[in-house]
Amino acid sequence: MKYALIENNIVKIISYKPVEGWEEVADTVFADMVKKSDGTFDDSDEAKAQKLQSTQDATDRENKKASAKQKLQDLGLTVDEIKEAFGI
């Protein structure tokens, strides 16, 4: 179990040692999570937005790699040449 300092229903700090006045929470609770009215915890809107942006950024990078690889193939390079020269 963990212990959390919760202010305004937001987890501010996590400790693995008991701290007086802090709330005992599950191991799945992390800093910046929001304590909901039913006592469960969820990511804040900001954390959800950051996760979504990170996922989108990764997807964009993969799409750009695929596009670049296809353009190089269209120019006549083989898949082996592209891998050797560019690592894609």
pLDDT, tens only, 36-70: 999 999 998 988 999 999 999 999 999 999 999 99
Same domain assignment for residues 54 and 82: yes
Give 4's pLDDT tier (boundaries 50, 70, 90): very high
Letter string b/e over residues 50-60, b meaning 16 or more CB atoms within 10 A of that residue's CB: eeeeeeeeeee
Same domain assignment for residues 31 and 6: yes
Same domain assignment for residues 29 and 50: no
- For residue 23, the enclosing domain spans 2-43
Same domain assignment for residues 39 and 50: no
Same domain assignment for residues 56 and 76: yes
Domain count, the chain: 2
Distance CA 45, CA 24 (A): 23
pTM over 0.75: no
Measure the CA angle with vertex 38, ends 13 and 34; round to 5°.
Answer: 30
